[in-house]
Structure 1
Amino acid sequence: MKIGTRTGDRRGVEVHDFDPATASSDDLAALRRHIYHDKIVVLKQQALDVPAFVALGAQFGKPVAYYEPMYHHPDSEFVFVSSNLDRETGRVGVPKTGAFWHSDYQFMPEPFAVTCFYPQRLPSVGRGTYFIDMAQAYQRLDPRLRTSIEGTFARHSSRRYVKIRPTDVFRPLGEVIAEVERKTPPQRWPTVLVHPVTGEKVLYICEAFTYALEDAAGDALPATLLTDLLAASGQLDAEFAHDNIFVQSYEPGDLVLWDNRTLIHRALHNPGNEATESFRVTVLDEHPLTKEDAA
């Protein structure tokens, strides 16, 4: 296994000659360290079937099935499928997922620690994902903004981006919304997490799921504060030119691991409707979401 730091605008590390079937415990421990400290690990020239992909994900934590079955791969509930392919046997997965800034499962009681992303079919253009390192975004905040969010909390909900399921057709919209609120009630996390491994302070908000800020007593803070934080971090930049935003591009055979506590991401969908498909395994690690002394 050969690990190299990526150069230029590319973030994280790139790993060549990695074989999950023969990887040693030291190899896997090294990858885990790089995920937490370098945020992105790109395993090159991988050729894994679904069971092997799930087994690899399990080396970094406990795989968790996405709560909505329509995203599941038919061979494993632990593989989330984003796909616009039409198959004779029927659709697998959901097309055009994740076209908004988010951290996976931020709206759930146990947000994921590590995301394992494995493109299966790539379009000719738009082959990538936008990212923002929210630890860097916190450090780059104006001191006034950093001070204003000390000891505060953020509320998160999936309600804005839940996709309508086939079984929702002809149901009253109010009934569907009520079910969403029941299945995924809003979560409250510190606005600033302390990463349990690196100790970095992470601005834990996203445009998709975060809908309100409040003080320690639960009293609402001005909506403009959340807007200012989203803008400062780059999430309101429709041109994706903000200094905090970077793009991870993909080549056939790439398998990308990232720190889901620190990085938020947004899918970069190709402008046409070329065939595209990706698999994802998401895991919980042995660490809490944040250290108890989080800001």
Structure 2
Amino acid sequence: MNVNEITPFIGLELSDASYEDLVRPEVWEQLVQGVQERELVVVRGIELTPQQQIDLAARLGEPVPFLISKYRHPEFEQIMISSNEMKDEKPIGVARVGNFWHQDSSFVADPAPYTMLHGVNVPGTSGHTKFANAADVYDRMPEEWKAKLSDRIGLHTVGKRLRIRQEHVGLSVAEFKALIDIEHPKVEHPVVCKDEYTGREYVYGSREYMDSVLGFDPNENEAFFTMLDGLIHDETHVYTHKWTPNDLVIWKTRTTYHIATEVEPGASRTVHRVSIETRRP
């Protein structure tokens, strides 16, 4: 088994590792330490059954069922299937997800701290996933913005990205927005947080999952999002994961920005996602 840093700013890669290797206590401890210190760990080309993926996730915390039942794995409710493939002329998963920069589930009060993806059927030439470190983003932020954001609260929402479903047909825009606020109330998080493992400060928030910074007027909010987008999108500080078959990718949800890139026409792509909460006493 080989272990290497992926970039100076994010990521650790394990290669030539099997499931049997990962469940050895000393190897698992090294993997968990890599996630905590480097935000992201990639295990290259590891063949896993769905049950083995859940078992690994359970070593980090509590794998939780995906919210939308029709996108769950038919045998394992904790696995969400992201796929553009069809079976019996029906989609086997959700085809288009995460195609914007975000931190997983920041729009809920207590987001699950870890996400795990396994590349079941992945093209090598498209459908990549890009990652950026939210602590690195904060480090590169202009000092005047650090001062301006100190002790500020961000208002987070899923409203910008909520999909319109069949039951919403016929609602006016105002009615739909009001329904979103009822079903998915906005939540508050500090804009600048401190990572409990590394002690580094990081930015918590993104344009697509934030309504605003409380106390900012519309011009100030737009300036904030424009500044933040510029830092997140800086390709010199972005790791692009080009999937190879059976890659396993694990990251900390609060400190890891990511985005899924488009899949080229005619290419099939299926990944299995598990969200992992802190285990309850």
Is TM more than 0.5 here? yes
2:5 corresponds in structure 1 to 5
Residue 225 of structure 1 aligns with an amino acid whose one-letter code is E
2:148 corresponds in structure 1 to 148
Question: Separation in 2 of the partners of 1:49 and 1:104?
Answer: 24
Residue 262 of structure 1 aligns with an amino acid whose one-letter code is T
Aligned length: 278
1:138 corresponds in structure 2 to 138
1:75 corresponds in structure 2 to 75
Question: Deviation at 1:16?
Answer: 2.5
Residue 232 of structure 1 aligns with an amino acid whose one-letter code is M
Q: Structure 1 residue aligned with 2:217, among 198, 213, 222?
A: 222
Question: Separation in 2 of the partners of 1:146 and 1:99?
Answer: 28
> For residues 135-183 of structure 1, what are the alpha-carbon distances to aligned partners after superposition, in whole Å with 9 as ceiling and x for unaligned?
1111111110000011110011111112234x43745356654443333
Residue 283 of structure 1 aligns with an amino acid whose one-letter code is I
Q: Structure 1 residue aligned with 2:247, among 234, 242, 254?
A: 254
Where 1:158 maps in the other structure, the secondary structure is coil
1:125 corresponds in structure 2 to 125
Pairing of 1:17-56 with structure 2 (within 5 A): 17-21=16-20, 23-56=23-56
Residue 194 of structure 1 aligns with an amino acid whose one-letter code is K
> For residues 103-133 of structure 1, what are the alpha-carbon distances to aligned partners after superposition, in whole Å with 9 as ceiling and x for unaligned?
1111112212111111222235214112221
Question: Deviation at 1:63?
Answer: 1.3
Question: Separation in 2 of the partners of 1:129 and 1:84?
Answer: 16
Question: Separation in 1 of the partners of 2:9 and 2:34?
Answer: 15
Of 91-100 and 123-132, deviating more is 123-132
Cα 1:11/1:204, change in 2 over 3 Å: closer
Where 1:279 maps in the other structure, the secondary structure is strand
Identity within the alignment, %? 22
Question: Separation in 2 of the partners of 1:286 and 1:192?
Answer: 25
Query: Between Structure 1 and Structure 2, which shows a larger proportion of helix residues?
Result: 2
Pairing of 1:1-295 with structure 2 (within 5 A): 1-6=1-6, 11-21=10-20, 23-88=23-88, 90-165=90-165, 167-168=166-167, 170=169, 172=171, 177-214=177-214, 220-234=215-229, 240-285=233-278
TM-score, scaled to structure 2:
0.89
> For residues 214-257 of structure 1, what are the alpha-carbon distances to aligned partners after superposition, in whole Å with 9 as ceiling and x for unaligned?
1xxxxx312333333333333598xx554433312211121111
Residue 233 of structure 1 aligns with an amino acid whose one-letter code is L
Residue 20 of structure 1 aligns with an amino acid whose one-letter code is Y
1:293 corresponds in structure 2 to none
Instruction: Give structure 1 regions of 4+ aligned residues with deviation exceeding 4 angstroms.
Output: 173-179
